[in-house]
Amino acid sequence: MKGTPTSGNLTFAASAEWKPRPFPSAQNWGRAQAQHLFMRAAFGASQMELKNILQVKIPRQQLVELLLKDQPFPPPPGDWINEPYITRGLTREQRRELQRKNRERMRDLILWWLTLMARTPLNLREKMVLFWHGHFVVEASVVKLAQFMYRYLHMLRRNALGNFRTFLKEMWRDPAMLLYLNGHQNHKLKPNENFARELMELFTMGVDTLYTEQDIKEAARAFTGWRVSGETLSSYFVPNRHDDGTKTFLGRQGNFNGDDIVDIILEQPVTAEFICRKLYRFFVSPEVNEEHVRELAEIFRINDYEIKPVLRHLFNADYFYDPGTIGAIIKSPIQLVISLLRQLIPQNVDPLYIYSAAKSLGQTLLDPPNVAGWPGQRAWISPITLASRAYFGEAALLGGRIDRSNFNRRQKPIQIDVMAFARSFDTDHPRELLNRWLEHLLPLEPAPVTKDFLLSVLLEGSAENDWSLDYIGVETRIQNCLAEILKLPEYQLM
């Protein structure tokens, strides 16, 4: 569309004099900054949620504390999570039935998680579960058993806002992680280095930092002896498989086990910096300010690797709300589809379509592309996925699905009451209504020529003073206008 500005890392045609920028209201604490916090720290907020926050004048610090507040754990997706996995004595047909049930349960687990993301208010924890899933990567296609994947997710959720030291020590014993990185095959007579290598390269210190190949070999010895049971759905230690000899790791010597290795890793300042740098990229900007990272890392270490103090400082920092960070991150497919649900509050949603849509856009929960997780940012965008992203928003308003080759408008897996949405903004004037929609749905202000085009879609030939939410046919105009807004490149950003 002509006149659409350049936004973040996405370049589109724009008027030469227009530069993308946050809405003027983002300069001070208020709606725009609260919305920015909800979009980054969770998956967005509805108009009514934002209105309630502004009406009671909740200050930034208090809102951050609400996000950090511990919440009850959600009920599990089914009783099957505790069903032992036993295949001994089963016929071929019984095994096939077990495999069919497992595929169904794996799908149900993903749909359950998507529902938690979309429906949980103040859902920083679910956002952090997504962050840690992309950090402590496990692939369902490797682990294969839904019960283990549920336990893995629960382990992430239990530790998402807790203590990183405790987190690491639970993570390396997790049955899904042991299966994924061959920890269950790690024997004193033939140590497997997969987990030890990823622990240092991807999970704690980063590539090519303090450790050597010999450190990896010595750490692998410390993690020997662990197995996984389908009957008890847990991991267990077998002493005669464990190497109880002396190891030398990062200059330290002793009869180390896995927890000892974790403690030594956490003594290295580079570890806190590595984790805080990743949090910064995820929540603030892909362009890292190393001074800010060092500040966060110092908070992390001083608080003995508690995660909440780091996030508290980050979400209260002025740089988090700086104009240069607003709109700097490209929404992941999960963020894109869930934030649409959070912002527009559909009446009905087919959760299987949400899963399928995100998959079509390049992100399948529980199956990242590899142990490094999803690269993010520009990797989300290609000519095909960019078109599909635009169609996803359009289809949510006008009908259709992006996971089918035939774009059938009669299919409406997402049903939105656009009149209820429009009326929630407390104005009947079309230009003001449009401005409020734009501020609600976009992080950056579109070019004037784009605004003029959108207003023309909303008016459809009517004069501004001869337009009302009560007029016959206005619902179609609102649908068309909102569909055009969701097709803008700015909507791909947060």
**What's the rounded Cα separation, in Å, for the pair 103 and 293?**
41
Entry pTM:
0.94
State the virtual CA torsion across 14, 17, 19, 23 in degrees, nearest 10: -100
Give pLDDT < 50 ranges for the chain: 1-15
Helix 31-41 to helix 47-55 angle (10° resolution) is 130
Tell me which residue of 384, 388, 387, 378 sits closest to 328, measured CA to CA: 378
Q: According to the model, what pLDDT value does residue 405 have?
A: 67
Q: According to the model, what pLDDT value does residue 428 have?
A: 94
Q: According to the model, what pLDDT value does residue 26 have?
A: 76
Tell me the two tokens of residue 385.
Answer: 């996925």
**378 with 205: CB under 8 angstroms?**
no
Contacts of 305 (CB under 8 A, 6+ apart): 163, 164, 165, 266, 272
Q: Which residues pair with residue 7 across a beta bridge?
A: 10
Let me know if 170 is exposed, middle or buried by CB neighbors in 10 A (0-12, 13-18, 19+): middle
Contacts of 143 (CB under 8 A, 6+ apart): 149, 152, 176, 179, 180
**What's the rounded Cα separation, in Å, for the pair 493 and 233?**
41
Tell me the two tokens of residue 300.
Answer: 């992390």
Q: According to the model, what pLDDT value does residue 7 have?
A: 34
Q: According to the model, what pLDDT value does residue 6 have?
A: 32
Contacts of 153 (CB under 8 A, 6+ apart): 109, 113, 129, 133, 366
**415 with 344: CB under 8 angstroms?**
no
Q: According to the model, what pLDDT value does residue 21 have?
A: 79
Alpha helices in 399-463 (DSSP H): 418-423, 430-441, 448-459
Q: According to the model, what pLDDT value does residue 24 have?
A: 79
Q: Give the C-alpha distances (Å, rounded to integers) separating 465 from 101, 366, 448.
A: 60, 52, 20
Q: According to the model, what pLDDT value does residue 180 have?
A: 98
Q: According to the model, what pLDDT value does residue 19 have?
A: 72
Domain ranges of the chain: 79-119+136-266, 329-492
Q: Give the C-alpha distances (Å, rounded to integers) separating 103 from 31, 75, 108, 344, 417.
A: 43, 21, 9, 31, 34
At 336, is the secondary structure helix, strand, or coil?
helix
Alpha helices in 90-163 (DSSP H): 92-119, 124-135, 140-143, 146-159
